[in-house]
Amino acid sequence: MIFTKPKPMKEILDSLAPYEKPLILGCGTCSADCHTGGEKEVADMKKRLKSEGMGVVEGVVVESLCNLEKVRRALKDKKEQVKEADVVLVMSCGIAVQVVAAHTDKPVMPGLDTVFAGVLERIGHYREMCSICGQCVVGEYGGICPVSRCPKELLNGPCGGTIDGKCEVDSEIECAWVEIYERMKSLGNEGSLARIAKPKDHLRSTHPRRVNTGKGILKGEW
Partner 1 sequence: MGFKEKIASGERVVTVEISPPKGADIENMMDLADSVRGKVDAINITDNQRAVMRMSSLSACSLLKAYGHEPVMQVCCRDRNRIALQSDLLGAWAMGIRNVCVMTGDHPALGDHPNAKGVFDLDSVQLLEFMRELGRGTDSMGNPLQGATGFNAGAVFNPYADPMELQVMKLKKKIEAGAGYIQTQPVFSMEMVETIMKLESETGVRFLVGITPLRSVGMAKFMSEKLLNKPLPESIIKRLEVSPDSVEEGMDIAAEFVTRIRDSVKGIHIMPIGGEAGLGSFLERIIY
Residue of 168, 173, 183, 205 interacting with partner 1 (CB under 8 A): 168
Q: 187 to 216, contacts with partner 1 by CB under 8 A?
A: 193-194, 196-199, 202
Q: How far is CA 41 from the centre of its chain?
A: 17
Q: Quick one: which H or E segment has residue 118?
A: strand 112-122
Q: How far is the CB of 15 from partner 1 (least distance, A)?
A: 23
Using CB under 8 A as the binding rule, whether residue 142 contacts partner 1 is answered as no
Question: Is residue 186 a contact residue for partner 1 (CB under 8 A)?
Answer: no
Q: Which of 1, 95, 117, 178 binds partner 1 (CB under 8 A)?
A: 178
| Rounded Cα distance, 170 and 4, in Å | 21
**Options 113, 159, 173, 183; binder of partner 1; rule CB under 8 A:** 159
Q: What is the DSSP letter of 166?
A: B
Question: What does the alpha-carbon distance between residue 182 and residue 176 come to, in Å, rounded to a whole number?
Answer: 10
Please identify, using beta-carbon distances, which residue of 194 and 217 lies nearer to partner 1: 194
Task: Transcribe 72-95 into DSSP letters.
Answer: HHHHHHTHHHHHH-SEEEEES-HH
Enumerate binding residues for partner 1 (CB under 8 A). Answer: 151-165, 168-170, 177-178, 181, 193-194, 196-199, 202
